Structures are given as structure tokens and as C-alpha cells.
Amino acid sequence: MNELVFLRGRPIRHGQVIGVGDTWPGDLLAYRQEWEPFIAAHVALWRRLNDLFEGTASAQQKCPPGVFDPSQIKNLTPALQSFCAALVLTRMRIDQTNASYGIPAQWNAWAGKSSAEVLAGAAAMLKWHQDVVARVGGPYTDELKQIAKTWGIDIQLPDVPSFDTQQSIIAQIEGAYVAAKGLLQIAGYSAAQTLAWAGSQAQAVTEGLTDTVKKIPKVVGALSNPWVWVSVAVIVAGGLIYVYVPRPRPRAMEK
């Protein structure tokens, strides 16, 4: 997708060598390239949810525009608070300019840098990208699953790069002395369907991590079903909006 860009000018391909005085391996950027489909798939999932929420009448009639403050929805009913809180979270995650909460903005934080600038900050760049992957595959995935479960939306999380691919690229980067050994780790899905990290492929397998994910089961409920419009607690902390959505009550309690 076009919004997931990196350096100025022509794209850098796996194995390409860039000259900045001394040459250095294009494998430095292979780490970003291997995770690009994973990040793009998550952005697409968030955009799909955003389209669903934005296309509902309540989004245009009751919810404030843009990324709004929780105080702006405190007078709404609990059901509408829940809806608007989920809506604003989808807006945040697809934001292309605010790197505090937008996935594209975080992923593209190094966009427009020259090869010399990237070389100078190579280790920091790698750590940044790994941290973005960790957020997208960890807490942001938990948010995705909770919204999907609460409103009965069917989603499919993307697979991660194979353990073989991850280990090979990490070995190349460490071998070129671009990053200290241990800075980059193997990522795989845990039993909770979020990313967990291991120092090696063998450790990942031993700990039961996988590079594929099971389909998230679709639950009863939809945007039009009021029983799954549960109340939320919306808290502002450090400029970010954190949304906690409790699970729907058992039917025996729906009275």
C-alpha cells in the first residue's frame, strides 16, 4: 500500500548495496521489508473496522469528528459511549501523521531519510521497527480482537514471517555488525493469539510459538444488536486514549 513508504527515491531491494562512503548491505532494510505485509494487513483490518463504524448513522449524528476527547461523549448513553469510543480508536490506529497512536505514522517514522542518515541510525531504526511490530501484534491486536468480539465482526489476523526467514535476516544483520546480538528477536503467536518473543527459532518452538494464527471465531452480535453495546471506561493518559471494553454479559443477565 502506498502509505507504507520508506526512503526517498527508488525503493531499496533485498540484497542491494548502498554506497555512503563505505558500502553496507541492503539486508539492513530486509527487516522492515519482511514485516511490511504484516503491518499492511493490520492497517487494512483497522480500516475495515473504521469503515464499518463510520458508515453507521450514529457516527455522523452523535460522535464528534476526528480524534476527540472522552469528555465530549460523557453525556451520551452508555451504548453510544461504547460505540464512539470504538470508533475513535479505529480513527487513531489508521492515522498517517500522529506517531503516538497511528500505525502508518509509526511505521513510517524514518520515511524520507537519506541512506547516510539511515546508516547513522541503523540500530535505532531496527529497534524502532521491532517495537512497532510488538505494539501492532500485541496490545493493538488485543484491541482488534475485543472490538471484533464485542460487535460480532469476523476478522482474520495475518501470519508473521516464517521463523526461518526471521532468523536468517537477524543473522545477516548481526553478521554485518549493524545491530548488537540480541537486539532483534524472533516473533511468533502465543496461545493468546498475540505476539510473543524469543531469542532464537529453537526457543520459539520450545515455548510453543507459531508463525501462523488460527482464525478468530465469529461471535453472535453485530453493530445493530444493542445487547453487545456495553459501557466502556475511557481514560486519557499521556495524550493517548485507552479503551477498555468489558465482555458482553451472559444472556441470563440481560434483563
Burial letters 204-234, b for 16+ CB under 10 A, else e: beeeebbbebeebeebebebeeeebbbebeb
pLDDT at res. 217? 57
pLDDT at res. 47? 96
For residue 7, being part of any structural domain is answered with no
For residue 162, being part of any structural domain is answered with yes
For residue 186, being part of any structural domain is answered with yes
For residue 5, being part of any structural domain is answered with no
Contact 81, 231 (CB under 8 A): yes
The residue assigned the cell 451504548 is 79
- Which of 245, 3, 2, 60 lies closest to 144, judged by CA? 245
For residue 200, being part of any structural domain is answered with yes
pLDDT at res. 50? 94
pLDDT at res. 172? 84
Q: What region, left, alpha or beta, does residue 208 occupy, with left being phi > 0 and alpha being psi -120 to 50 degrees?
A: left
Domain interval for residue 224: 17-253
pTM confidence score: 0.76
Contact 79, 226 (CB under 8 A): yes
pLDDT at res. 15? 37
Average pLDDT, consecutive stretches of 10 residues, N- to C-terminus, the chain (255 residues): 42 36 51 93 96 87 90 89 92 95 93 72 85 96 90 90 94 75 90 94 95 67 38 32 36 34
Tally of domains in the chain: 1
For residue 10, being part of any structural domain is answered with no
pLDDT at res. 34? 93
